Structure 1
C-alpha cells in the first residue's frame, strides 16, 4: 500500500530541508530578515515588519516539516523575539551617525565607558571568588541549605533602590565596617553591584556542580586524590563552563544596574589610566539618564548606542574566551 501523496510531499520537503547546510540556512534567514526590515523602514511602514517576522517563521517551520505543534511553538516564540528585537532594530535605524561620532570623541564618554566595564568586572570577579565556594557547599548540601539559598536569591526580588539603602546600612557609616567610605567611591559601587549580581554567579556555579556525577569524584578519591586535588583536576574543570557563565551573567547584570549604584555612588571618583590620576564620572545607566535629562533623546541615544557596541563586543569576547577555555580544560585528562 503506497503512502498518501501528502506524506510523500512532507517526507520530500523534510529531506530537502535537512540536506541543506545549517549555517547557510541561518545566514539566509538573517539576510532576509534584515532586508525586510530595511525595506519596511525605508517605505515608512515599520509596522509591517513584525507581521513579516511571524509569517516568515511560520513558513520556515512549515518547510522544515515541524508539524502543527512545532509550528505553533515557533510562531509563539517569534512574538517574544519581535518584542525584544524590534526596539533594538528601530533604535539602531534611527541613530544620527554624526552625533554618534561626536559623542564617541568626547573624553567624558570615554571615562564613563571605562568605568562601566571596569567596575562590573571587579564585581563579577568578587562574586566568583567568594561565590564559587558557596556554590560548591550548596551543591553538596548541609543543614539549613534552604535558608542560605533563600538569602542568596533575595537580591533578585529586592527593589534596586532598596538594595542601595541596604548597602549603606550594612557597610556605611554606623554599619559593620564604618571605616569604609562608600559614597562616591569605587568600593561602594562594586559592593552595590555585587549585591545585585552575586545570585547569578552562585546559582550558575551551583547548578554546574550539582550536574556532576558523584561517581567521577568518587573514582578520583579512591585512587588517592585529596579533596582539593579532586576539585582541581575533576570537579573544577567539569564545572568550569557553568562557573564562567555565572561570571558573565554577573558582569552583564552589573553593567545594567542603576538603582543601587545611584543610591551609593551616583558619581564615582576612580583612577583613570589615560589621565594618569583620579577622575570623576558616572556608571553608564546614570550617565545615560543624565544625558537624556540634559540633551534629550538623541543625545542619550548616541551614548546608549556606544554603550551597546562596547557591551556586545566585551560580552562576545569574554564568552568566546570563556567557552574556549572551558572546552580546552574540560578535554584535558
Structure 2
C-alpha cells in the first residue's frame, strides 16, 4: 500500500506539471487528478476556448502509458474506436486489430459530435473495461480512463449523450473563464510555444495501478457511506426530479472522496470530502422534470438542496 502522503506529493507534482500550460485553475486540476487516482472517467463540459482539450491532453501526458485521442465526428464508426477484425491472407484467419480504446488514457474530444451508435461503442469499455467484437471479449489495459470533452451550447451536428452514458462518468466538471492574470500568463505561454506535448510523464501505469489500489483501500466509515447513500436518495425524491442519482452515483461519490482525501495526504474520508465532490459527481446523473427546467432549476441546485437538508453524520476519528 502506498502511503497517502506519497499520493498527495504525486498529486502536487502532476498539478504543477499541468499548470505550465493551464493557468489559474487549481481546483479544477485537483478534480481532474482525483478522477485519475480513482480510475474514474471524466467529462469536461464548457464553452469553446477554455482549455478542455488542453487539460485532457496534459493529464494524458502525465501518465507514462499509452494515450490515444479520438476526434468525434458524425461520420465516425464504432470500429474506429473499438477495432476491427481483418482477414490475414497468409494465415487464412481473421485477426483483431485494436482500436484507440486500447489505451491507458483515451481522450474522446467533442464526444457529443459522434452519433449515438458510436457513443454506445464506449459503454462496455467504460463500465467493464473490456470490448466485445465478433463475440470475443478483449480486456483493456489497466489503468483505463476516458476523458471526454463537449461544448454544451452548440447544437448543430451534435448528439446529446444518453443518461446511461452520462452515468458512467465519475465526474462532470466545468472550467470557467480564467482571471486576468491567468489569461495573461496563457498568452505569454502561447507566445513561447508551450504545449501539453512538452510535459514529462510523472507516473507509469504500474505505479498508477498501485495508487488506485491504495486509494480504494482508504478508510471510509460506515456513517460516511450511509451519508453518501442518503445524499443520492434525496435527489431521487426531490419534487423537481424525474430520475435521481443511481447507486452508481453513491458508489462513485465514495470512490472519489477516497482519492480526494489522498490528495490531501489523509488516509481516511471525512464529511467535507463528500460535500466538496457531491455536485461534480452527482449532478450529471439527475434528470429534471420539464416544469423544473422551465422554472430555472438545475441539477446542481438539486444537489445543493440535498446537502442542506440531509443530516450530517458525526464520525469519530
Which range, TM-score by smaller chain? under 0.3
Structure whose residues are more often helix by fraction: 1
Q: Which has the larger Rg?
A: 1
Structure whose residues are more often strand by fraction: 2
**TM-score, L = length of structure 2:** 0.25
Q: Which has the higher contact order (CA 8 A, sep 6+)?
A: 2
